[in-house]
């Protein structure tokens, strides 16, 4: 049982989720290090990635990065194959594809600093906004 009502449910064994993914993947447009590195920019990008895939949980097993969304039943695995990152995705939500879209938009906007973003809260929800990026909805607990 979760200690908090808004805590994400445990996703179990990442190998179980990876077993249901297609055997072949595609080249990833962005390296997972963009969101996993121990830098301030990666910390900011993890936040933006979480906005793009709000129910996804991330874990690393060996050199493979796993994204699992127990709410939608979606999963993605990124593995380093012959010097390039390959992504395999399954389920109704393409988790890494959503994150890649945010990373691409962030790069195209000139990699804006966190303080250039604003939070808009209104009856319809909460959105993180930047003048050169699409609005990102934030989930309410």
pLDDT of 4 > 50? The answer is: no
**Model pTM?**
0.86
- pLDDT for residue 3: 44
Please give the structure tokens belonging to residue 29.
């447009």
DSSP state of 3: S
The pLDDT tens digits of the residues spanning 22-38 come to 999 999 999 999 999 99
Q: How far apart are CA 100 and CA 106, in angstroms?
A: 10
Instruction: Using alpha carbons, list the distances in angstroms from residue 126 to 96, 129, 139.
Output: 23, 10, 7
pLDDT of 20 > 90? The answer is: no
The pLDDT tens digits of the residues spanning 115-126 come to 999 988 888 788
- Other Cβ atoms within 10 Å of 38 Cβ, number: 7
Provide mean pLDDT across the span 83-106. 95
């Amino acid at each position: 049982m979760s200690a908090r009502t808004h805590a994400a449910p445990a996703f179990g064994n990442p190998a179980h989720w990876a077993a249901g993914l297609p055997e072949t993947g595609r080249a990833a447009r962005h390296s997972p290090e963009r969101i996993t590195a121990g830098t301030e920019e990666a910390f900011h990008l993890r936040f933006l990635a979480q906005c793009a895939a709000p129910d996804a949980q991330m874990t690393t097993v060996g050199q493979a990065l796993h994204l699992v969304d127990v709410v939608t039943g979606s999963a993605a695995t990124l593995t380093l194959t012959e010097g390039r990152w390959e992504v395999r995705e399954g389920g109704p939500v393409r988790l890494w594809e959503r994150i890649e879209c945010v990373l691409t938009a962030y790069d195209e906007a000139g990699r804006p600093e966190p303080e250039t973003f604003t939070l808009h809260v209104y009856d319809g929800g909460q959105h993180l906004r930047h003048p050169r990026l699409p609005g990102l909805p934030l989930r309410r607990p």
